[in-house]
Chain A
């Protein structure tokens, strides 16, 4: 496809022929905001495979450059490779042996016996693009270098909390939604209203009593202390109740004729039919629990029970030069929600747009 085709493709409008000036403004806005949204995330992805040296220097280049090194002929540390520009303008690759005054002692690659001196200003680093995947593998595969950040443990804790809390959220809220939509009993509407009213209690302002309750139940520093208080969400009850109201009562009556128990009706008829609403709640719950920060911060104080978010923030707060691990682990932390988003994007955006809840 030639450039002409590309331009024609991009400027094609639906039936209007030429682009109006406001269309240009629209696309300018879109592209500018695309940069603001995407560039920061891209920059972290790109930075996460850079070498520790490049990160300490804050190398602003996009690709992960590292300086070439060669093994020392005498068996010491690896030697850095530079490009030496001779006075006549020709260049040669040299290995750096050591400094001497303003000069550097170097030898031509392949000829380690003839060490000579050149001015340091004539040397430029010989660099290659070399993504450093060790940033990812070392903390995850248990290298000794990252004792402060036990990624696998945090990952497991986060996964456990997310999966358990989501399963319990679905079951507990579906049961309540079922009771509030398919039974008639005294105080039903008052109860539904009370549950929705808890949306008005900001969880942040009951931190202290919630902490004391969880503490008196012996759930501090236990993952269950993070899971249990979050499983009854007014959002979930509301969402499921509204959905279940649309399921015709005749289905339930027919099942009761066949002597199905109430539980069986719930499990075999209501749950499968409420699957669309359940999946919206499941996605929301996964997002909430995986990203949760404040509540785990209060309940979990020992690093063995940290979730990923806690581990990351602690690791970030420590004054250390482990930026290369921090960035790589941040990428791994956002990966699950990103995958969920990529595959379920339509469900998420339409689900949230329809319910107006996050």
Chain B
């Protein structure tokens, strides 16, 4: 007898529903049909409560406790000590003047700020350019969209392995650059010849800015497709006849872009901006696997500081980690409100 997968699935579906129907029917007879809503909500609220709301409240409490225990009752209250340790710094701009925890915190904070302020504008500009190009009358649009989106599907670890392999000192990028310089020198006239290429340790060379550059590049590479997709959807929602009318009035292409495309795309742009900024401030996975925060502390991000304070090394400083989380949450909140306020003011004008 041939078993059709669809029939088997339907049978499984029916049986699973029927098995659960017995107790549910009994429950319904007991509490009444309209109260079943609470029963349907219960699992979700339990998980939310236990693993989102309760931890959020707990985080504030832990931020005021010290010691190394994971059991709350064993954690002594230390008042503002954790915050004091993080914030007592002669100069925030030079984390080396801070204590151990403060050094880690402020290094992570400045690196994250730098990362976010460079990465977000860069990604939005490239994502917008790509979306505009895909919105043109091009062949095989679905294929190109898929190409850009594919890296979004890859895990941070896979992304890090791919790029680490390329950026090794004797990796393919250095080999290709060396070959390019060699070829150039072979054909170029003498006065345009370049010095022989010396392989760069892209992710390890501490004196150059390359590690941070590649961290930003790789992160953008991995996430661009997602924002491109949202912007493309926004572009396609702009009614075509607006452009046709503008065309008839003889409006130039660039004027169409500034006067039609950009204003109508603004709501989507704001979503993209808020999302990408919040995510950039929480960057961890890709960077941690790619560079481990190195060389030295050059690419150590905020979340890595929290993770390492609490979970790495012999001294598990949960209090410091929780206090840092509170500060990060405050920062994220301020940022979000600032963005919303700015955009609302703009919309109001």
Contact = CB atoms under 8 A, between A and B. Distances in A.
Interface stretch (A80-88, A125-133, A337-345): A337-345
B71 A349 contact: no
Contacts of B325: 205-208
A225 to B, nearest CB: 10
Nearest to B237: A353
B116 interface: no
B54 A211 contact: no
B17 A264 contact: yes
A263 B16 CA distance: 12
Interface stretch (A26-34, A103-111, A114-122, A141-149): A26-34
Interface residues of B, number: 96
Contacts of A358: 152, 226
A354 B233 CA distance: 8
B172 A60 contact: yes
Interface stretch (B102-110, B156-164, B184-192): B156-164
A27 B140 CA distance: 12
Given A293-B155, A349-B145, A261 B28 contact: yes
B44 A237 contact: yes
B215 interface: no
B89 interface: no
A44 B137 CA distance: 33
A210 B310 CA distance: 12
Interface string B309-340: 01100000010011001101100100010000
B99 interface: no
B94 interface: no
Contacts of A330: 157-158, 161-162
Q: Is the interface of A mostly helix, strand, loop or mixed?
A: helix
A294 B284 contact: yes
Contacts of A2: none
Contact of A172 (B37, B47, B72): B47
Interface residues of A, number: 94
B285 interface: yes
A195 interface: yes
B55 A231 contact: no
Given A175-B43, A313-B157, A209 B53 contact: no
Given A210-B51, A349-B149, A262 B36 contact: yes
Contacts, number: 275
Contact of B329 (A188, A202, A326): A202
Contacts of B329: 202, 205
Given A37-B147, A208-B310, A26 B284 contact: no
Interface string A323-339: 10011001001100110
Contact of B154 (A183, A200, A205, A334): A334
Contacts of A229: 47, 50-51
B47 A263 contact: no
A51 interface: no
A155 interface: no
B43 A263 contact: no
A209 B149 contact: no
Interface stretch (B19-27, B202-210, B239-247, B257-265): B19-27
Interface stretch (A70-78, A94-102, A212-220): A212-220
Given A26-B133, A33-B130, A262-B28, A287 B153 contact: yes
20 contacts: A29-B130, A60-B175, A60-B179, A176-B45, A200-B336, A201-B56, A207-B325, A209-B58, A210-B51, A216-B71, A228-B47, A232-B52, A263-B28, A294-B285, A309-B156, A312-B161, A313-B289, A317-B292, A345-B149, A349-B145
Given A60-B175, A60-B179, A208-B325, 15 more contacts: A26-B138, A37-B221, A38-B147, A40-B221, A58-B170, A175-B40, A183-B40, A184-B34, A202-B278, A206-B59, A209-B59, A262-B36, A264-B17, A333-B155, A346-B142
Top-7 shortest CB links A-B: A291-B155, A263-B24, A209-B58, A183-B37, A209-B55, A267-B17, A353-B233
